[in-house]
Structure 1
Amino acid sequence: MSQVSTTPGGGSARATFVAAYSAVTLAQITNALPGALNGTFANDFHTSGAGLTWIAGMFMMGIVVFELSWGLLGDLFGRKKLIYAGAVATAVGSVLAALAPTTGMMIFAQAIGGIGAGILFPISLSMIAAITPDHRARARAIATWAGFLSLGAVISPVLAGLTAQIFTVPSAAGAPGGATAVFHGWRVAYYVAAALAVVVLVVAVRATDSAAPQGRKLDLPGQSTLALGLIAVLFATVQAVDAGFGSPEVIASYVVGGILLVLFVVIESRTRQPLIHLSLFKNSAYSITGIVAVTGMFAFLAIAFSTSVAVGGLALADTWKVGVLFVFIQGPAFLLIPVVGWLIHHVAPRWALTAGFAFMALSGYWLSTFSLGVPEQFGGTPWTAFILPLLFLGIGFALTIGSITAVAINTVQPKDIGMASATTNLLRDLGFALGPVIGSAIAFSIGASVFAGPLAGILNGAGLPADAVAGLSQIPPLGFLSGWDGVIAQFSGQALAGGAPQQAVSGMVGALGAVQHQIQGVAGTSLGQGFQMVYLVAAVAATISALLTLFISGRSTAPSADAIAETTEANAEAAADAAAVTCRD
Structure 2
Amino acid sequence: MSSRHKLTLTLLLGAQFMLAIDFSILNVALPVVGEGLGFGLDQLQWIATAFALPAAGFTLLFGRVADLFGRRRMLLAGMALLAVGSLIGGLATDPAVLLTGRVLQGLATAIATPAALSLLTTSFPEGRLRTRALGLSGALMSAGFTVGAILGGVLTDLLSWRWAFLVNVPVAVLILAVTPALVAESRAAGTTRLDVPGAVTVTGGLLALVYGVTTAGADGWGDPVALGSLALAAVLLVAFGLVERRSPAPLAPPRVLTRRTVTWGNVGGFVAFATETSLVFLMTLYLQRVLGFSALATGLALGVLGAGTFAGGVAAPRIMARFGGRATLAAGLVLQAAATLALLGLGSSRDGLALLLAATAIGGFGNLVAIVAFMGIATSGLPDGEQGLATGLATMTQQVAITLGIPVMSAVATAAGTSVLAGVHAATLVNAMIAVAGAALVAVFLRRSAH
Superposition TM-score, scaled by structure 2 size: 0.81
User: Out of 362, 374, 379, which is 1:392 matched to?
Assistant: 362
Return closer, same or farther for 1:132/1:356 CA change in 2, 3 Å cut-off.
Answer: closer
The Cα shift of 1:156 comes to 2.7
Equivalences for residues 308-457 of structure 1 within 5 A? 308-312=284-288, 315-371=291-347, 386-408=356-378, 418=387, 423-444=393-414
Show CA shifts across 1:83-107 (max 9, x none): 3321222223333444556776655
**AA aligned opposite 1:33:** I
The Cα shift of 1:262 comes to 1.5
Note if contact 1:42-1:313 (Cα within 8 Å) is conserved in structure 2.
Answer: no
Equivalences for residues 156-195 of structure 1 within 5 A? 156-167=148-159, 185-195=160-170
Helix, strand or coil at the partner of 2:222: coil
Paired residues, number: 446
1:495: which partner in 2?
A: none
1:298: which partner in 2?
A: 274
In 1: Cα distance, 2:397 partner to 2:125 partner = 28
1:237: which partner in 2?
A: 213
Helix, strand or coil at the partner of 1:364: helix
Bigger relative contact order (CA 8 A; separation at least 6): 1
2:185: which partner in 1?
A: 210
Note if contact 1:234-1:437 (Cα within 8 Å) is conserved in structure 2.
Answer: no
1:198: which partner in 2?
A: 173
In 2: Cα distance, 1:314 partner to 1:48 partner = 24
In 1: Cα distance, 2:392 partner to 2:218 partner = 34
Return closer, same or farther for 1:53/1:548 CA change in 2, 3 Å cut-off.
Answer: farther
Identity in percent: 22
In 1: Cα distance, 2:289 partner to 2:217 partner = 17
Helix, strand or coil at the partner of 2:445: coil
Q: Which moved more, 1:350-359 or 1:413-422?
A: 413-422
RMSD: 4.0
In 2: Cα distance, 1:216 partner to 1:400 partner = 34
**Whose helix fraction is larger, Structure 1's or Structure 2's?**
2
Return closer, same or farther for 1:312/1:160 CA change in 2, 3 Å cut-off.
Answer: farther
In 2: Cα distance, 1:122 partner to 1:90 partner = 15
Equivalences for residues 239-258 of structure 1 within 5 A? 239-258=215-234
The Cα shift of 1:266 comes to 0.9
In 2: Cα distance, 1:407 partner to 1:136 partner = 13
In 1: Cα distance, 2:125 partner to 2:429 partner = 46
Return closer, same or farther for 1:254/1:364 CA change in 2, 3 Å cut-off.
Answer: same
**AA aligned opposite 1:543:** V
Show CA shifts across 1:40-93 (max 9, x none): 668888977864544445434433222223233334333443233212222233
Equivalences for residues 543-554 of structure 1 within 5 A? 543-554=436-447
The Cα shift of 1:14 comes to 9.2
5+ residue gaps in structure 2?
A: none
1:84: which partner in 2?
A: 76
Helix, strand or coil at the partner of 2:252: coil
Q: Which moved more, 1:255-264 or 1:207-216?
A: 207-216
Equivalences for residues 102-113 of structure 1 within 5 A? 107-113=99-105
User: Out of 52, 71, 74, which is 2:63 matched to?
Assistant: 71
Q: Which moved more, 1:400-409 or 1:296-305?
A: 400-409
Note if contact 1:161-1:324 (Cα within 8 Å) is conserved in structure 2.
Answer: no
Superposition TM-score, scaled by structure 1 size: 0.65
1:471: which partner in 2?
A: none
1:114: which partner in 2?
A: 106
Helix, strand or coil at the partner of 2:444: coil
Return closer, same or farther for 1:100/1:545 CA change in 2, 3 Å cut-off.
Answer: farther
**AA aligned opposite 2:249:** Q
The Cα shift of 1:541 comes to 0.9
1:221: which partner in 2?
A: 197
Pair member with larger Rg: 1
1:505: which partner in 2?
A: none
5+ residue gaps in structure 1?
A: 1-11, 168-184, 373-378, 451-524, 560-566, 568-585
Show CA shifts across 1:7-48 (max 9, x none): xxxxx9998666434322221221232455567668888977
